[in-house]
């Protein structure tokens, strides 16, 4: 009865030819290593067979490989491999005709036209070489086709060899999880056939007959669509600016308040005081070696004239990092125990991290203008997400057994948060703080494009005037600022 049930399950899973698959699966299960079997139907149908079985993690790579093989066959049999070379010949012939006209005009004026004649001789020699290249390209067509056939045969062999082991592994998973796709559903089969054949046909036509179907090369669109979308976006931003200017003014005031305070601390305070504070803080946090390194870095900035700009950079960075951390850690704490809220916030953070900085600088400039507040906002957008992510990760990583033990002993929510969750999650949170600071410092040069002062201004100026020395020296100053901050934040906790 057990054997009969096993046979029924196998028949339900494979849907076709259960006897064949029963023998193959027994062969595969009897061997400890890889069992060499060959599925002729899978080899013939290729990625269609894998798609019909729901094995798209194998089907898609085989689609790519077979498409490449068919493209080579199509190019070799029907394509014009020397087309690009002959196009170059036409361009040179056009230039050659112009040079002949210039030569004749020079002769008519009594000039020997030696310069034009040398140019003509050079172009004619180049045409002869390019024609030979075109002939060689045409001669390789049969070899390109044969390579495609040989490659296709190898892919077919691989498809046949891998089919049974892959399906047997899927069958084992299906026995414990019936939500896994099994059998041959009509919809899945149809999608597999249509998808694979369309990919093959479109790719071969495009590469074997370039230009035969125009819309395969250029996406069919209308420039009016883009212009209309631009008008809509600009109207949207105009509306936000008109209705929310009061909010942007409040944000600017808050940023300016923090920034002015930090500039007074770093820029206006005498340099011996700031240098002593930084060295002492580094010593307390990371030890004697790090303190000596910080002293050397500060001396480098001072002797090369980067002190004031370095302190301006630290003030700008400190403003962005402080606001990001002050907002990010509470948001992370709030999201750690609320999966739905985090699922809503996470795509927003993905957008903030993946959108190029030069793109989101555009709306920032529209809302805040240029200058240091806009640079701070840009830096916060780029570097503010790691502290949220790693705070959530750290709090979710706190063992439930420890939390349950604390609750069992009568711990309140506040005690649980401050004495259990945060201390255990502190390494992850500090890593988030460190990443936020480092990413914020990476925006120094970009922020200088919109009016931020500091070391980024020197790097930008060096790029504009190709001043290698200035750019390298300023770059090292930025690097040393990052190293000091990294030692202070990470300290002895590593």
- Mean pLDDT, rounded, for 394-413: 84
- What pLDDT was estimated at residue 493? 46
Residue 46 Rama label (left phi>0; alpha psi -120 to 50; beta): left
Q: Which of 91, 118, 139 is the last residue of a domain?
A: 139
DSSP 385-420: HHHHHHHHHHHHTS-HHHHHHHHHTT--HHHIIIII
- What pLDDT was estimated at residue 4? 53
- What pLDDT was estimated at residue 195? 92
Same domain, 101 and 40: no
Residue 92 and residue 84 in contact, taking contact as beta carbons nearer than 8 Å:
no
Q: Residue 462: inside a domain, yes or no?
A: yes
Distances (CA, A) of 212 to 74, 91, 285: 14, 22, 69
- What pLDDT was estimated at residue 309? 84
Predicted confidence band of residue 2 (pLDDT cuts 50, 70, 90): very low
How many domains does the chain contain in total? 3
Q: Residue 320: inside a domain, yes or no?
A: yes
- What pLDDT was estimated at residue 274? 85
pLDDT in tens, 307-338: 888 888 888 888 888 888 888 889 988 888 88
Does position 39 have pLDDT exceeding 80, yes or no?
yes
Q: Residue 55: inside a domain, yes or no?
A: yes
Residue 344 Rama label (left phi>0; alpha psi -120 to 50; beta): alpha
Residue count of the chain: 494
pLDDT in tens, 88-116: 767 777 777 777 777 777 777 777 667 76
Same domain, 56 and 148: yes
Same domain, 60 and 34: yes
Same domain, 201 and 239: no
Q: At what angle do helices 288-303 and 468-490 cross, to 10 degrees?
A: 150
Does position 117 have pLDDT exceeding 80, yes or no?
no
CB atoms within 10 A of CB 323: 20
Whole-prediction pTM value?
0.67
- Expressed in percent and rounded to 5, the helix, strand and coil fractions of the chain are 85, 0, 15
Q: Which domain holds residue 130?
A: 83-139
Q: Residue 222: inside a domain, yes or no?
A: no
CA-based end-to-end distance of the chain: 61
Token couple for 34:
């890889």
Same domain, 181 and 290: no
- What pLDDT was estimated at residue 113? 67
Token couple for 443:
């925006």
- What pLDDT was estimated at residue 157? 94
Same domain, 354 and 385: yes
Among 255, 268, 484, which residue's Cα sits nearest to residue 379?
A: 255
Same domain, 129 and 166: no
Does position 28 have pLDDT exceeding 50, yes or no?
yes
Q: How would you label 414-432 residue by residue, b for 16+ Cβ within 10 Å and e otherwise?
A: eebbeebbbebbeebbbbb
Q: How far is CA 242 from the centre of its chain?
A: 35
Residue 16 and residue 167 in contact, taking contact as beta carbons nearer than 8 Å:
no
CA dist 402 and 405 (Å) reads 5
Mean pLDDT of the chain: 83
Predicted confidence band of residue 14 (pLDDT cuts 50, 70, 90): confident
Segment of 1-15, 18-32, 62-76, 408-422 carrying the highest mean pLDDT: 62-76
Q: Residue 221: inside a domain, yes or no?
A: no
Residue 323 CB contacts under 8 Å (≥ 6 apart), including other chains? 254, 255, 258, 376, 380
Same domain, 66 and 88: no
- The share of the chain scoring above pLDDT 70, in percent, equals 94
Same domain, 275 and 360: yes
Residue 149 and residue 68 in contact, taking contact as beta carbons nearer than 8 Å:
no
Same domain, 309 and 386: yes
Residue 175 Rama label (left phi>0; alpha psi -120 to 50; beta): alpha
Among 439, 337, 311, 475, which residue's Cα sits nearest to residue 397?
A: 337
DSSP 90-152: HHHHHHHHHHHHHHHHHHHTT---HHHHHHHHHHHHHHHHHHHHHHHHHHTHHHHHHHHHHHH
Residue 41 CB contacts under 8 Å (≥ 6 apart), including other chains? 49
- What pLDDT was estimated at residue 1? 39
Q: Residue 274: inside a domain, yes or no?
A: yes
Token couple for 257:
């308040």
Does position 66 have pLDDT exceeding 90, yes or no?
yes
Residue 48 CB contacts under 8 Å (≥ 6 apart), including other chains? 192, 193, 196
Residue 355 and residue 412 in contact, taking contact as beta carbons nearer than 8 Å:
no
- Could you say which DSSP state residue 236 is in? H
CA dist 443 and 378 (Å) reads 8
- Mean pLDDT, rounded, for 351-368: 81
For residues 284 and 159, the model is more confident at 159
Same domain, 155 and 244: no
Token couple for 144:
């390109």
Q: Residue 223: inside a domain, yes or no?
A: no
Same domain, 329 and 374: yes
Q: Which of 139, 157, 177 is the last residue of a domain?
A: 139
Residue 438 and residue 486 in contact, taking contact as beta carbons nearer than 8 Å:
yes
- The share of the chain scoring above pLDDT 90, in percent, equals 11
Does position 238 have pLDDT exceeding 70, yes or no?
yes
CATH number at residue 286: 1.10.3720.10
Residue 406 and residue 286 in contact, taking contact as beta carbons nearer than 8 Å:
no
CB atoms within 10 A of CB 348: 11
- What pLDDT was estimated at residue 149? 93
Q: Which of 118, 139, 160 is the last residue of a domain?
A: 139
Q: Residue 300: inside a domain, yes or no?
A: yes
């Amino acid at each position: 009865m057990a054997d009969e049930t096993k046979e029924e399950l196998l028949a339900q899973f494979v849907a076709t030819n259960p006897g064949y698959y029963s023998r193959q699966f027994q062969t595969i299960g009897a061997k400890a290593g890889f069992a060499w079997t060959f599925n002729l139907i899978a080899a013939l149908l290729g990625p269609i067979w894998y798609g019909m079985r729901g094995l798209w993690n194998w089907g898609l790579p085989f689609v790519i490989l077979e498409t490449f093989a068919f493209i080579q066959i199509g190019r070799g049999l029907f394509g014009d491999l020397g087309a690009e070379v002959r196009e170059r010949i036409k361009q040179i012939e056009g230039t050659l005709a112009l040079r002949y006209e210039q030569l004749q005009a020079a002769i008519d004026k009594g000039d020997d036209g030696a310069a034009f004649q040398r140019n003509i001789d050079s172009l004619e020699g180049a045409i002869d070489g390019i024609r030979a290249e075109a002939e060689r390209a045409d001669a390789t067509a049969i070899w390109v086709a044969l390579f495609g056939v040989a490659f296709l045969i190898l892919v077919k062999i691989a498809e046949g060899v891998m089919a049974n082991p892959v399906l047997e592994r899927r069958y084992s998973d299906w026995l414990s999880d019936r939500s896994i796709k099994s059998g041959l559903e009509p919809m899945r089969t149809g999608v597999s056939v249509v998808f694979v054949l369309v990919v093959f046909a479109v790719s071969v036509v495009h590469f074997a007959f370039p230009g035969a179907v125009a819309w395969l090369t250029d996406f069919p669109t209308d420039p009016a669509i883009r212009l209309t979308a631009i008008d809509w976006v600009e109207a949207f931003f105009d509306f936000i600016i008109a209705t929310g200017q009061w909010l942007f003014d409040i944000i600017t005031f808050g940023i300016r308040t923090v920034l002015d305070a930090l500039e007074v601390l770093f820029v206006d305070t005498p340099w011996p005081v700031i240098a002593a504070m930084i060295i002492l803080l580094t010593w307390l946090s990371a030890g004697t070696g790090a303190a000596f390194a910080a002293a050397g870095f500060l001396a480098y900035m001072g002797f090369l004239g980067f002190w004031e700009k370095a302190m301006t950079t630290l003030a700008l960075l400190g403003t962005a990092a402080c606001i990001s951390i002050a907002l990010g850690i509470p948001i992370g704490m709030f999201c750690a125990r609320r999966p739905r809220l985090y699922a809503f916030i996470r795509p927003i953070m993905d957008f903030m991290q993946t959108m190029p900085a030069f793109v989101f600088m555009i709306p920032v400039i529209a809302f805040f203008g240029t200058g240091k507040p806009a640079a701070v906002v840009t830096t916060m957008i780029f570097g503010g997400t790691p502290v949220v992510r790693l705070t959530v990760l750290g709090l979710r990583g706190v063992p439930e057994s420890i939390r349950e033990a604390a609750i069992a002993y009568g711990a309140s929510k506040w005690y649980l948060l401050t004495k259990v969750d945060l201390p255990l999650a502190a390494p992850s949170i500090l890593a988030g703080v460190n990443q936020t600071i480092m990413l914020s410092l990476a925006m120094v040069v970009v922020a200088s494009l919109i009016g931020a002062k500091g070391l980024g201004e020197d790097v930008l100026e060096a790029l504009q005037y190709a001043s290698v020395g200035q750019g390298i020296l300023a770059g090292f100053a930025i690097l040393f600022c990052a190293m000091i901050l990294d030692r202070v934040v990470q300290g002895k906790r590593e």
